[in-house]
Amino acid sequence: MNFPIRKISATTPDKVNGKFVKFRKGDCLGIKINDRYLAALITEKFNKYYDLTLIQYYNETSPTLTDFLEGKFFGTRFGSWEELAYASDRRMIECKLIDNSLAIELVGRLDLVENIIKASYGYEKTIEDLYQFYEYELPIRIEKTNNAEKFPDLAFVSNHLVEVKNILTS
């Protein structure tokens, strides 16, 4: 028997099950956990999930838009020094969880480039899972970013912390 192959297609970027979602691509979020704040950028919404890209930020106060503009995101770069491209690491979380959480606040919105390349993709069921990923991954990314600065040939090999300005439209 031959069955037609159908691709999974994206739903409208503003709705899930016919209802509008609270956040959009480019929204900057402050996420309160353990009496501190994480910072995350919504890099896409696909079907019933937000794609969150974490920013290097874990402080006692909620992040500001300046923290995002001057911050670094979990991502990587590839290409050559003459033609660099940037990709973001994404953590998928259900829109419903994010929209209904009292621990999440909108800080502002950034104009992101149209198609941000995905470097990696993972799924988190809770905000606590997102924090555990951040806590585990941050020291590794700091070390790899520092090594890339010391040894430029390694700059394209690994996961880094990349300046947010590299994925902004202007």
Amino acid at 158: S
Q: Which pLDDT value is given to residue 13?
A: 63
Q: Which pLDDT value is given to residue 166?
A: 92
pLDDT digits (tens, 9 = 90+) for 101-110: 999 999 999 9
pLDDT digits (tens, 9 = 90+) for 117-169: 898 889 999 999 999 999 999 999 999 888 877 776 655 657 889 999 999 99
Strands 104-109 and 27-33: antiparallel
Distance CA 57, CA 71 (A): 8
Q: What is the pTM of this model?
A: 0.87
**Backbone φ and ψ of 124, nearest 5°:** -120, 135
Q: Which pLDDT value is given to residue 110?
A: 97
Q: What is the mean pLDDT of residues 1-14?
A: 61
Q: By the 8 A CB rule, do 161 and 149 touch? A: no
* Token pair for 112: 């992101």
Strands 104-109 and 84-94: unpaired
pLDDT digits (tens, 9 = 90+) for 11-57: 566 767 778 889 999 999 999 999 999 999 999 998 899 999 999 99
Reduced DSSP (H G I as helix, E B as strand, rest coil) percent helix, strand, coil of the chain, to 5: 25, 40, 35
Distance CA 10, CA 12 (A): 7
